[in-house]
Amino acid sequence: MTERAITVAVGTAVLVDGDAAQIVEFDGRKVVISYTDGRYSSFSLTEFVTRARGVEPVGSGGDPGLVLAGLTGEQRRQVTERGEHVREVLTGYRSGYAQAAREGEPRSEYAPSQPLMARYRAKAAELSVTSRAVEKWVAAYRESGEAGLVDRRRGRSGFSVVDPRWETAVRAELAAGVSASTPTRSAVLMRVADRLDREHGEKVVPIPSQATAYRRLAELTKGTNAVSGSAKARRSIAAGPKGVHGRLRATRPGEYVLLDTQDLDIFAMEPVTCRWVRAQLTVAQDLFDRQILGLKVTPVSTKAVDVAGVLFEAVTGRSSGRPTLGPAHGLPRFLVFTEDGTAEASAEVWCPPETLVIDHGKAFLSAHVIGVCARLGISIQPAQPRKPTDKPTIERFFRSLRQGLIQHLPAYKGPDLHSRGEGLEEQAFLFVHELEDVIRDWISTVYHPSDHDGLAVAEWPNLAMSPNDMFATGIAKAGLLRIPAAPELALEFLRVVWRTIQNYGVEIDGRRYDGPVLNGYRNASSPYGGLDAGKWPFRVNDDDVRHVWFCDPDDGRWHRLVWEHAPMLNTPFSDEAARYARFLARRNDRFADPNEALRQVLSRWSVGEVLDRRERRMAARLAAERAGLAASAELELAGEPVPVLPAESQQVIADNDDEDDLTDDIDTGRAGENTGEGRTGVIPMPIFDAFAEADKRW
């Protein structure tokens, strides 16, 4: 038995699964072994080959295939030629056997009848080398074949040998400077020298030459950003896992949902306060198919109610007045919270998420979110703090969003201060709600239909898959979904407010709501106790306060209560917009009754009569949509196509627009003349251009 082979025969000592044993029986198909503790085991020959090892350690010689694979074509030719010389010395034939003899072989000086040393001397004289060199070639060939004839000096590294203590000191300095500012290479080498003097004494450890030190430092800092690149990236690299990278594996859509918030590299205008703000994006992503199930763009920072709204959209597939993102995934089994920091025609396939992966931020770990998840059977799985590698798919989405969309939008500020341009405040901008609509449009028309490198089906690993394709494949393979027991359960994600029910209904933040379901509870105390004992709970969607929701305790059914001013609005009206309207009315101090003031403000917004630039921006979307819808509806009822003004005409109208001429011509009857057919011809107003109006001085 040699060190690289085991003779399978009775009496051979082997190691099986690390235990010493001896073969006691072998019949060609089955091997029986006896362990040193008296136990016996029987193996098939195939199983024995995969589990048995020799008692002697295997030699540490280089892998012949690996050695030969690293050679160039010229080096491989030289090794082959040297191998032919060695075979001629040993056998008299360059091929190694007589059946493939070349013309004139064997030559007399290499005939097998000649002594081996004589053949060594003849080959040395032929190649102008020493006999000792030929003898070494023969020994290497006998041990490793042609791989033993490779010049080992060719495979050595170009780096000079340095003291291991110097390299240890370099690694220690690099680890200590992860959180510090980025130093120069010379500063790192100076700190390394000081560390060696402190730990080992002055001049005890030899310092490599400057060129060698710089080369070794470049090798040791490769991929770490230690002496170049972004300090933020350096900290992220250092925080990454050092061992084998595991991954969270989803087997079907709706099993795992990742939730994360990211600062967007763009400025936006807040429509309520007209502030120039940075925007944050909160998204929910399905891990299996990478689809975005819900999102919310918020100014400055994300609140717990915003996170609840994203989960509400992920479960129901609906967002107040917003285009749908794609197939709704419903209830997750696991919710993974991560570290803080128009597609209306899409198929409505309901696939409830089952798991949410979350982070440790206060907005995510609110009692509201945790309570609703527990009631709906959603497990919460926190990710590790400051570990973006725990959620690589959602981090990659944010990068794709920045590179594929955000950098092409106005007021893009770049990923860092070094990338920021000048005069951002003078550029065009988007309102926060407009930015969210653009992102939704990009997701449904670009991100979801595009193929992703990270998506693959095990049966067809090279098949390009998009999130839409992956969703369809996952549903077809899994064949099951988890949905809420009742659609109304999703309303529990909405914010809860406690109020008493009066004769006129219920008042929430100055807004009065009413509905037939309240008839049996007016002026009655609720059975609920606690801090708000006697009051009734209502669910409020802060993105659309035209309605609130009330659960009838008698039958458990949910009912929608309508705001008294809701008929005056044709689009969703947010809670922030409502608060600003009341503030504006109080500031102007023109009415004794605040409710009357609010009614007048809403009337102005509906017809386009605004008082200042701040209110003008606030009313941009509401007034424009109402004017456009009214004109289009009248023409459609008449059975005629809706005319569209040329772009040049729209620009002239926008440029000549004046504050005194903001009243809608449709409402005042000045839109056109009598056509003689018993009706008035209507020319619709152009769509309101918020960007053009923002440049005017009011």
- In this prediction, residue 358 carries a pLDDT of 55
% of the chain with per-residue pLDDT over 70:
64
- β-bridge mates for residue 499, sequence order: 536
- Spatial separation of the C-alpha atoms in residues 313 and 329, rounded to whole Å: 9
- In this prediction, residue 678 carries a pLDDT of 44
Judge whether residue 262 has pLDDT over 70. Answer: yes
> If pLDDT is split at 50, 70 and 90, which confidence band does 657 have?
very low
Helix, strand or coil for residue 146?
helix
- In this prediction, residue 690 carries a pLDDT of 57
The string of pLDDT tens digits covering residues 671-683 is 334 444 444 455 5
> If pLDDT is split at 50, 70 and 90, which confidence band does 610 have?
very low
Judge whether residue 486 has pLDDT over 50. Answer: yes
Judge whether residue 57 has pLDDT over 50. Answer: yes
Distances (CA, A) of 136 to 90, 118, 313: 13, 15, 76
- Spatial separation of the C-alpha atoms in residues 85 and 105, rounded to whole Å: 13
The string of pLDDT tens digits covering residues 549-589 is 898 888 888 898 998 888 777 656 666 666 666 666 666 55
Judge whether residue 619 has pLDDT over 90. Answer: no
- In this prediction, residue 621 carries a pLDDT of 45
- Spatial separation of the C-alpha atoms in residues 578 and 545, rounded to whole Å: 8
Say which residues have a Cβ less than 8 Å from residue 106's Cβ, sequence separation at least 6: 88, 91, 92, 93, 112
Judge whether residue 129 has pLDDT over 80. Answer: yes
User: Which one, of 440, 233, 472, lies nearest residue 342 by Cα?
Assistant: 440
Tell me which architecture the domain covering 249-493 has in CATH: 2-Layer Sandwich (3.30)
> If pLDDT is split at 50, 70 and 90, which confidence band does 471 have?
confident
Amino acid at 342: T
Judge whether residue 443 has pLDDT over 80. Answer: yes
The string of pLDDT tens digits covering residues 490-542 is 677 778 889 999 999 999 988 899 999 999 899 898 988 888 888 999 988 87
Pick the residue with more confidence: 651 or 42?
42
Pick the residue with more confidence: 7 or 154?
7
Judge whether residue 487 has pLDDT over 80. Answer: no
Pick the residue with more confidence: 71 or 213?
213
- Spatial separation of the C-alpha atoms in residues 214 and 382, rounded to whole Å: 42
Using a cut of 0.75, tell me whether the model's pTM lies above it.
Answer: no
Distances (CA, A) of 417 to 119, 225, 230, 261, 412: 75, 18, 12, 20, 12
Judge whether residue 32 has pLDDT over 90. Answer: yes
> If pLDDT is split at 50, 70 and 90, which confidence band does 42 have?
very high
Helix, strand or coil for residue 75?
helix
Range ranked top by mean pLDDT from 62-66, 459-463, 627-631, 670-674: 459-463
User: Which one, of 308, 354, 347, lies nearest residue 330 by Cα?
Assistant: 354
Judge whether residue 372 has pLDDT over 80. Answer: no
- β-bridge mates for residue 297, sequence order: 281
The string of pLDDT tens digits covering residues 620-633 is 544 444 444 444 44
CB-CB contact of 71 with 150 (8 Å)? yes
User: Which one, of 619, 627, 518, lies nearest residue 574 by Cα?
Assistant: 619
- In this prediction, residue 685 carries a pLDDT of 60
Going 686 to 688 to 693 to 698, the CA torsion angle's sign is positive
Judge whether residue 166 has pLDDT over 80. Answer: yes
Pick the residue with more confidence: 234 or 319?
234
Pick the residue with more confidence: 93 or 378?
93
Judge whether residue 637 has pLDDT over 50. Answer: no
- In this prediction, residue 169 carries a pLDDT of 92
Pick the residue with more confidence: 481 or 634?
481
- Spatial separation of the C-alpha atoms in residues 373 and 455, rounded to whole Å: 28
> If pLDDT is split at 50, 70 and 90, which confidence band does 257 have?
confident
- β-bridge mates for residue 547, sequence order: 562
Pick the residue with more confidence: 303 or 237?
237
> Can the peptide bond before residue 410 be classed as cis, meaning omega within 30 degrees of 0?
no
Locus of tokens 């004589």: 118
- Spatial separation of the C-alpha atoms in residues 496 and 537, rounded to whole Å: 6
- 346-352 contacts at long range (C-beta below 8 A, 24 or more positions apart): 346/444, 348/317, 348/324, 349/471, 349/475, 350/317, 350/481, 350/483, 351/253, 351/254, 351/286, 351/327, 351/471, 351/475, 351/481, 352/254, 352/315, 352/481, 352/482, 352/483, 352/484
What average pLDDT score do residues 293-303 get? 80
Pick the residue with more confidence: 660 or 114?
114
- In this prediction, residue 502 carries a pLDDT of 92
- In this prediction, residue 1 carries a pLDDT of 40
- In this prediction, residue 463 carries a pLDDT of 87
- In this prediction, residue 335 carries a pLDDT of 67
Judge whether residue 339 has pLDDT over 70. Answer: no
Could you tell me how many residues make up the chain? 698
Buried b (16+ CB within 10 A) or exposed e, 67-80: bbeebeeeeeeebe
What average pLDDT score do residues 431-459 get? 88
CB-CB contact of 336 with 256 (8 Å)? yes
- Spatial separation of the C-alpha atoms in residues 570 and 605, rounded to whole Å: 11
Amino acid at 459: E
CA 514 to chain centre: 44
Judge whether residue 348 has pLDDT over 80. Answer: no
What value does the mean pLDDT of the chain take? 75
- In this prediction, residue 514 carries a pLDDT of 93
